[in-house]
Chains A and B, each alone.
Chain A
């Protein structure tokens, strides 16, 4: 029986050593291929589709690189149309602090040789993403053969694709293509090397996870009123609670 005990001990030691070497080899393998692993993770948030049939370019974001891409697509075939869906003006736009997307886009595209007459503003001002997609889908259903492309930020492309697939009807989804525009500071092959890249990646991954869960989104959001806040502060100051 004592031989049995010794044999059990030996077997346990062999098993422990095996686990140790397995973990060590796995750690070395992960470390040596960490670049590949992180690039694969980066690929989860990027969707870049090259449209075959392109009639419409949807502008929904600003940025000099996005305008470069839009201008190059338009100048390839000037018969293409540029479309935009207006959003309800934010506080900063109403105050004249920031320009609305439409005026920025017209100006920037004019600098890049795109005539402003090719711009079309569709529908009524929307409050959020879902309304924007629904309005666009309704409009596209009236153009059964038109293909539409939307250039967007690289790490937001997968989320946009997910939202398009979720909100738009199947007949329209196939005709909408997402083009991921590169950011000069980082992309899916080097995002971990900069703080802004890591932050953008984490945000994009969380966004994807949230969309994937299909959580019901409360689209309505009450706007914060700075005047009300100021009145409450005045009351506080008047009470002498300083």
Chain B
């Protein structure tokens, strides 16, 4: 009877939670995307660095920051060369970023290329770390998509260490969805869910969270075993009392 009661309780709890989430989705779901956005109000810097991965908004935001006087130069991360057949179809990412910047009125002498093989956010952080060693007093605004800012900040903090205080983050919009309606579109759903999964994976595999999780599992298992043992000893006690009676 107890098991049935627990099963009913669990069913009601899960059903109630789902109903609540569905009913309040317009208020709850934007939080899932807004949580990822840690972009800051722009402040004066020496360089602006648009991270690779999006050509529709990040280079435009970087160009705007430079033209409005928030930065003096733009750092463009270089990507590895692709096979010639692919490069004939689409030019390398850093060349397209440079073209966009010049199209938006950024003089060519304000564009500097960063690193050699930037395949990921981590590589870009390493390249910036190397750059800041040679320019220790420089301040940098890092521009990336709004939902990428949290993970990017985490990665850059781990790589840059002390130099992190020279860096601020600017959030670029993503053309196709925003934080308030991301679940209306397939692209928004995929990107926001994926970004949350990626950040969780980074915390577990690179952030030492796996140790906390292991400790929590061990503590919960020990607590469960202790409760069960106490429950068993009560049952034995009741049975012995009944026997004596």
Residues of A within 8 A of B (CB): 1-2, 4-5, 8-9, 12, 62-64, 90-92, 95-98, 104, 108, 195, 199, 202-203, 206-207, 210-211, 215-218, 221, 223-224, 226, 229-230, 233-234, 236-237, 241-242
Contact = CB atoms under 8 A, between A and B. Distances in A.
A92 B240 contact: no
Q: Which 3 A-B pairs have the closest CB atoms?
A: A1-B243, A64-B85, A226-B60
A120 B53 CA distance: 32
B100 A218 contact: no
Contact of A206 (B43, B60, B185, B194): B194
A207 B242 CA distance: 62
Contacts of B44: 242
A90 B56 contact: yes
Contacts of B100: 92, 95, 97
Contacts of B177: 221
A4 B186 CA distance: 60
A210 B190 contact: yes
Contacts, number: 110
Given A203-B190, A221-B177, A64 B86 contact: yes
B239 A4 contact: yes
B181 A237 contact: no
A89 B151 CA distance: 32
A104 B89 contact: yes
Contacts of B63: 226, 230
Contacts of A241: 41
A233 to B, nearest CB: 4
B180 to A, nearest CB: 12
B96 A97 contact: yes
Nearest to A242: B44
A229 B69 CA distance: 14
Contacts of A104: 89
A98 B90 contact: yes
Given A223-B175, A233-B42, A5 B89 contact: no
B99 interface: yes
B60 A211 contact: no
B73 to A, nearest CB: 17
A69 to B, nearest CB: 13
Interface string B153-188: 000000000000000000001011100010111100
6 contacts: A5-B240, A8-B235, A12-B232, A92-B100, A206-B190, A215-B189
Interface residues of B, number: 49
Given A206-B194, A211-B186, 7 more contacts: A64-B86, A92-B56, A98-B90, A217-B185, A224-B57, A229-B64, A237-B68
A91 B177 CA distance: 16
Given A62-B89, A108-B89, A221-B177, A236 B242 contact: no
A224 B173 contact: yes
A119 B83 CA distance: 26
Given A4-B239, A64-B89, A203 B194 contact: yes
Contact of A230 (B41, B68, B193): B68
B231 to A, nearest CB: 11
A221 B67 contact: no
A230 B64 contact: yes
A230 B68 CA distance: 7
B103 interface: yes
Nearest to B45: A242
Contacts of B120: 195
Contacts of B56: 90-92, 224
Nearest to B86: A64
B186 A217 contact: yes
Nearest to A62: B89
A233 B70 contact: yes
B239 A1 contact: yes
Contact of A108 (B60, B88, B176, B240): B88
B65 interface: yes
Contacts of A195: 120
